[in-house]
Structure 1
Amino acid sequence: MSNPVPAAATDPVVSNPLEVATKMGGVQRSAIFLMSLGEADAAEVLKHMGPKEVQRVGAAMAQMENINRSQVDSVLRFFIETARNETGLGVGVDGYIRNMLTQALGEDKASGLIDRILLGGNTTGLDTLKWMEPRAVADVIRYEHPQIQAIVVAYLDSDQAAEILGYFDPKVRLDILLRVAGLTTVQPAALQELNNILERQFSGRSGSQTTTMGGVKVAADIMNFVDSSIEGQLMDAIKEVDEDLCTQIEDLMFVFDNLADVDDRGVQALLREVSSDVLILALKGADEKVKDKIFKNMSKRASELLMDDLEAKGPVRISEVETAQKEILTIARRMAESGEIVLGGKGGEEMV
């Protein structure tokens, strides 16, 4: 990619070169940075990212329009400054990746990049499912034994697993989630058999160690992403079968209102990763305690602007609010897994 991000005819003059990048979201900065690299280097970076991250960056790349040289320069400066302040660099861990990268880079350039990512050499049958759309995964496992279905659902990311459950009948959903909650480890022979089944369709190789997966926490994580129209029905069904298990799952679920229990430093870190448009939508349906927590951890000027934007926004669909809240929760869980913040919901560990 000799010149993937052409300069505009006239670039705006910015007093602080980092200001432009600072106002961008992290995904947008990543997209610009990757598009400023050559194909081989971009592929090396993307190899270390998981399906969800690659999909988000790919989508951002596809939406890039009129990127000027000052924006690219600001992003590169931002990256350098971040690298200087860190002891090490790391990149975190879906279904639309092929289309997204093709739109962003063109079919010829994207094809080589996609091959490097998807055919990297360590993909098992289970891992390949992470790159598929939830409906397609549901079709793959629909006629497998319920225990196989549970292992697959437990293995995949919680948001993808939740969407997959949406393509099954209520009774099947209940059976799968109960089995997920009851899982602890999977024996090598069982995992090998499952990979063999999947690898008849996909490439890869499987490991030989006992794998820990499933459990009540995984079931709770999946429930966090289940569509609200399904969540209540599914929890009621679990309660009928096992009231104690239902309570355990509820205690471990982290919902948007639980953000009020996150410490101030964590909220500030989270806000740096959330775009203002998503935050406004999410707060339209938020509890007052959550709003107060957010406003408290912003500058006076920023909180006033946010309040004005909330009032000016007007009525929005509940589905839009839920989508925005889930996006923020996804970021919060990712940051919690990497140790950047501590979630303090009902299932959070007490601090002394």
Structure 2
Amino acid sequence: MKPESATRTDREAVPRPGNDLTRFLSGPEKAAIILLVLGERYGGEIWSALDEEEIRIVSRAMSRLGSVTAEAVEALVAEFLSLMSQGGAVTGDFDRTEALLNKILPRDRVSILMEDIRGPAGRNMWQKLGNVQENILANWLKGEYPQTIAIILSKIHPEHAARVLSLLPQELALEAINRMITMEPVQKAILNQIEDTLRTEFISNLHQANRRDNHELIAEIFNSFDRQTEMTFMGLLEERHREAANKIRSLMFTFEDLTKLDPASTQTLIRFSDRDQLAMALKGATPSVKKFFITQMSTRAAKNFEDQMAGLGPIRLKEVETAQTKIVMLAKELAAKGEIIIGKNRSEDELIY
């Protein structure tokens, strides 16, 4: 690593254990190391989320890193996972955002960015409202006056407004339509009041309700790793924060968890799966997992499938793990579309009579 200062030279000359290995790294340097560890496959989405200036800052730090010891990389990854799993107590507001941006961006660019965030309020608020699912918006509007509903629906996209109207009680929807027909230009003061109400009573509560647990986020990231990378990171996290590691492990959905699918969901997953990929995934699975899938097939299909697995011959463990990961990701995609139901515990979905 190139010595940039006396402090940096001292750090290289005298190795320090634990957090001391990373304490002198700047934020961009830490980000650069993490992105190098993740590589193109796992870090691609992070790079795509950065703006041009952020990419420039991190890239510059990356180009100046030089050689980083394995111990320093391990300590930084463990620090990163530990902070993420603890939910990092961070507070974000307008003033903090502006102060932070002023430290890393030119003031003229910060002014443009903050002006865009600040307003005009109507444009940003209606854009946000247009992205809210129609059933959620309709449920909230049920408690509002018809005139307020009419104003709000007149400000969003017609197709979105139509779907929201169809979900409102018929009488309320009809009254809102009548108000829209006879509506005159809305005074700015009234529009601002409605925007303030939406911002404080609806959008803010919506964000709070949709806030994801950091453990769930990390569990999804770990699910996308190959088995070796997952074991490495999980081991590092266990050393720093065993309780968080246990919680993340409990939230992870593995290939073996597919055996908790109900028969209909299992058959749907089989139908949508690439047969070669499924054969490779089951080739390296435990006997109980193989039996679970095969018993969901017809006798003829099961025989053909077993012949297909036998015909694969010896295959690498990494190929099996990759195939299993793809099947798990497919299951999650199907679940997100409502095609199947997945869960850690079948009993959660059982009916009690």
Scaled to the shorter chain, the TM-score interval is 0.3 to 0.5
Looking at secondary structure, tell me which structure has more helix per residue.
Answer: 2
TM-score (norm 1): 0.47
Structure whose CA Rg is larger: 2
TM-score (norm 2): 0.47
